[in-house]
């Protein structure tokens, strides 16, 4: 495997927190995302906090977070955060987030993630 790819995989395995964001393809996450995580060590993500996010063409596929992405990270024994972030084209204008509801959701997800993130990085606990 090329060295730069190895380095990227290691960065995922060693991350203090992962934000996993994917477009919805045919009712699920894309096969490429699965392929990426097929290359991650079986025990590498145990207790890693994971914030799940997805974009889709339709609001109706928001459950991709809980029905598709969450089980994948349960397999890894990762700590998927209870709050995920789902967005559609209607939330963006010129590639910028313009939906206040989406902004609030991201804010809430970040607030909920912060304590778990700090627990993984002891130096942050000292600052807090
Ligand atoms: C092959 C393909 C399949 C898609 N399937 C779905 C789908 O099942 N449900 C959905 O809500 N959006 C679907 N979409 C829309 C994408 O999720 C949407 O275009 C994407 O989230 C936008 O992100 P991007 O601007 O980064 O591409 C599909 C798009 C493509 C190209």
User: For each of the chain's 128 residues, which pLDDT tens digit applies?
Assistant: 899 999 999 999 999 999 999 999 999 999 999 999 999 999 999 999 999 999 999 999 999 999 999 999 999 999 999 999 999 999 999 999 999 999 999 999 999 998 887 776 666 555 54
Question: How confident is the model at residue 87, as a pLDDT?
Answer: 98
Q: Give, as one character, the DSSP assignment of residue 25.
A: B
* Predicted pLDDT of residue 86: 98
Contact 78/49 with Cβ under 8 angstroms? yes
Q: How far apart are CA 94 and CA 103, in angstroms?
A: 16
Buried b (16+ CB within 10 A) or exposed e, 40-74: eeeeebeebbbbbbbbbeeeebbebbeebbbebbe
Q: Work out which ligand 1 atom sits closest to the CA atom of 28.
A: 8
Tell me, what's the pLDDT at 117? 74
Q: What are the percentages of helix, strand and coil residues in the chain, rounded to 5?
A: 50, 20, 30
> Using a 6 Å cutoff on CB, does residue 57 contact ligand 1?
yes
Out of 24, 26, 95, mutate this one to test ligand 1's pocket (max ligand atoms within 8 Å of CB): namely: 24
The pLDDT score that the predictor gives to residue 123 is: 64
How high is the pLDDT of residue 122? Answer: 63
C-alpha to C-alpha distance for 39 and 42, rounded to whole angstroms: 9
């Amino acid at each position: 495997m090329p060295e730069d790819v190895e380095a990227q995989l290691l960065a995922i395995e060693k991350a203090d927190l992962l934000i996993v964001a994917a477009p919805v393809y045919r009712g699920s996450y894309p096969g490429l995302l699965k392929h990426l995580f097929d290359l991650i060590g079986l025990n590498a993500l145990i207790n890693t906090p994971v914030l799940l996010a997805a974009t889709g063409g339709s609001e109706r596929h928001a459950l991709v977070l809980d029905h598709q992405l969450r089980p994948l990270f349960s397999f890894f024994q990762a700590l998927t955060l209870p709050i995920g972030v789902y967005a559609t084209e209607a939330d963006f204008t010129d590639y910028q987030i313009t939906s206040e509801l989406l902004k609030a959701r991201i804010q809430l997800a970040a607030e909920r993630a912060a304590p778990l993130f700090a627990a993984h990085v002891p130096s942050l606990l000292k600052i807090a």
